[in-house]
Structure 1
Amino acid sequence: MSSMVGESIPAGTGHITCDLHSSTVVFSKLSSSYPLKLLSPRVSEHGVAIVYMLSYGGGLVGGDRMQLVVEVGKECKLILLSQGSTKVFKTRASDRASTRLRRSSPQPSSPSLQAVTTQSMQVTIDPDSALFLLPDPVTCFRSASYTQVQTFHLARSASIVLLDWVTSGRRSMGEDWDFLRYYSVNEVFVEGRRVARDVLLLDNSSLDTQPASCSSGPSRTSLRTLKDRLAPYSCYAMLFLYGPQTHGVVTDLQAKYRSISIFKRTVPERFLWSLSPVDDGKGTVIRAAGVDTEDVKNWFKEALKGLEAVVGIDEYRKVFL
């Protein structure tokens, strides 16, 4: 559903507002503009709605800027998904030369100069409601530069399941952590109090800004690429869970984590994961890494299966396809 006739909204922006009427989630606003597209299929589960976040042309290019506002009304359960990974193509012109404008700050400078692809999301979750943000991973192509900032404001009795993950790129095309820069920030507030802030910066741009010879530091040839540092894994993920509607899943994950045996290995595991409590145990953070993206995907699909009791079996089957 796009914006209503006569309504003008800036390019790349979207707005989702949903409320519960009887047992049906109704969208009072579901609008978007190119290159963002929002679609909501009909679902049978009471109190649950699904929205797919899509991009025209199958991906985003350098300079694209996406802004999404989401408002989840009282007692609603909203599942936000994507159809396939979020593909980020390389910056437009002079992408290598533009990286010389970068400085040491993790925040990007002018997007117009660097042709950075940016996405931002502002979310409000009302009492007794829940957001399940479970998109496919971000896949940055060679020379791409991507920045993502997502902020979530929860009422005290609200819940959230937030998955943020990134792949190494198009491995079938010989691309393995060959993008320029990936920067992702997730902040979660409950009743105005920040309970979590997660930042991930993956930066290859220093390889372009380092001079051929430098008397005060290591030579250019000694700098380690992202591939060197992140191998052998091709997918990294962060999962954040908070609120009463996540308790069943968290209890299962805690039991599974306690059963893990830790011992020294001669070769890396194909899949690794960890669990950490946050905000005095009210929230939980899962971090995972896999040699293949499918390893990570299949693990999360099984680990979050307890959500079937929350959103419905048929609705959960639409996740991790």
Structure 2
Amino acid sequence: MIAQLHITTALRNGITYLKHSYFTPPLKIANITEDKTVNNLQISIMSSSPGILDGDDYQLKVELDAGCAMQLHTQSYQRLFNMKTGARQLMEVHLKEGATFTYLPHPSVPHENASFVTKSSIYLQAGCSLVWGEVLTCGRKLNGELFQFSKYHSITQVFLQGKLVIKENLLMQPALIDVNAIGQLEGFTHQASLIFLDENADCIPLSDGIYEYLSQQKGIAFGVTAAPINGLIIRILGYKAEQLYDCLKAIGLYQIYQITEKAS
């Protein structure tokens, strides 16, 4: 099934509003913004499908006008079902000057024999803020499906004013590469990453705060690294999807608060 979604936002009296939306089954969206006096539009992507099925082709596009601020939410964990040919998702995000975008989707759960490729391209103009996360699990752990999926390939590209500044390339093929080997997961079962970019952020105290917060979490290993442009890249390994997802939300929500306060 080919599923398409297109969201466009604009600014009215300093507040972001949903200017245009288009979606095809099984996708739909809902505006879940509670405080409409703050420049922080909140949109949730929902689906009537239980997950991504064999042969699915998801095509998502998000466009934010200058000065807009939006959080994009997901409905639930993304289940990748048993497949023969595979499925894919293509996502494009375009931010004009001074726009802010936050996307922290629920963890992906690849079932046995799942084969999934996702490619995200994010285009930033000057003065933009980005919080972008991803959590990948080992599969249905309680069903004994640890790393029984065929392939998971996630490519994330971030462009600043047309120049490629970050490229993440996560490829896991458990049947070909031992996930427990040195340089791989080394016994961990879940992994998460977060990209934070903001040319106005003071990243040194922010990095120290994130390091201190993650140091208090049990059963994880992590790293906090300076991005090629002003920002941070965080990676976390652990054993529980909810724990890693909560860590990303805690870090991301702090940034959202800072951005909202700055905008107001």
Please tell me the TM-score bracket, short chain as reference. 0.7 to 0.9
Partner of 2:57: 65
Please say if 1:87 is aligned against 2:79: yes
- What amino acid is aligned across from residue 168 of structure 2 in structure 1? D
Counterparts of 2:195 and 2:28, CA distance in 1: 25
Contact conserved, 1:249 with 1:304, CA < 8 A, in 2? Answer: no
CA contact (8 A) 2:109 2:137 kept: yes
Q: 1 CA distance for matches of 2:248 and 2:18?
A: 29
CA contact (8 A) 1:178 1:226 kept: no
Classify 1:303/1:282 alpha carbon distance in 2 versus 1 (closer, same or farther; 3 Å).
Answer: same
State how 1:1-321 maps to structure 2 within 5 Å: 11-44=2-35, 45-91=37-83, 95=84, 114=85, 116-206=86-176, 225-226=178-179, 230=185, 232-244=187-199, 247=201, 251-257=205-211, 270-279=219-228, 281-306=229-254, 307-311=256-260
Shift of 1:249: 7.3
Q: CA offsets, 1:107-146, max 9 Å, x none?
A: xxxxxxx2x1101111100111111011111111111001
1:260 and 1:33 map into 2 onto residues whose CA distance is 39
Contact 2:104 2:249 in 1 (8 A): no
C-alpha separation between the residues in 1 aligned to 2:206 and 2:237?
20
Say which SS state the counterpart of residue 304 (structure 1) adopts.
Answer: helix
Unpaired stretches in structure 1, ≥5 consecutive residues: 1-9, 96-113, 207-223, 262-268, 313-321
Structure 1 length-normalised TM:
0.73
Equivalent AA in structure 2 for residue 68 of structure 1: L
Q: Hey, what's the Cα distance between the residues in 2 that align with 1:151 and 1:272?
A: 28
TM-superposition CA deviations, 1:264-320 (whole Å, max 9, x none): xxxxx71011011122x51211111112123312322333342224348xxxxxxxx
Distance (Å, rounded) in 1 between the aligned partners of 2:55 and 2:210: 43
Q: Larger % of helix: which? A: 1
Moved over 6 A (4+): 258-261
CA contact (8 A) 2:45 2:74 kept: yes
Higher strand residue share: 2
CA distance in 2, matches of 1:43, 1:249: 30
Call closer, same or farther: CA 1:248–1:235 in 2, change over 3 Å. Answer: farther
Change (3 A) 1:303 1:25: closer
The alpha-carbon distance between structure 1 residues 18 and 288, as it changes in their structure 2 partners (threshold 3 A), is: same
Count of aligned positions: 255
Equivalent residues of 2:222, 2:236 under 8 A apart: yes
TM-score of the superposed pair, with normalisation by structure 2:
0.87
Once the two structures are superposed, what CA deviation does each residue of 1:55-80 show, in whole Å capped at 9, x if it has no partner? 22221101100001110111111101
Aligned CA distance change for structure 1 residues 302 and 14 (closer, same or farther; 3 Å): closer
Residue 258 of structure 1 and its aligned partner are, at CA, apart by 7.9
> What does the per-residue CA deviation read over 1:237-261, in whole Å, with 9 as the maximum and x for residues that have no partner?
111111146x267732334538999
- Distance across 1 between alignment mates of 2:106 and 2:134: 9
SS of the residue corresponding to residue 204 of structure 1 reads: coil
Query: Does the CA contact (< 8 Å) of 1:238 and 1:285 recur in 2?
Result: yes
- Give the match for residue 266 of structure 1: none
1:249, 1:299 → 2: CA distance? 18
Deviates more, 1:183-192 or 1:26-35: 26-35
The C-alpha deviation readout for 1:80-105, integer Å capped at 9, x for no partner, is: 111211111011xxx3xxxxxxxxxx
Compute the displacement of 1:13 (Å). Answer: 0.7
Q: Where does structure 2 lack aligned partners over 5 or more consecutive residues?
A: none
Aligned twin of 1:6: none
* Identity between Structure 1 and Structure 2 (%): 22
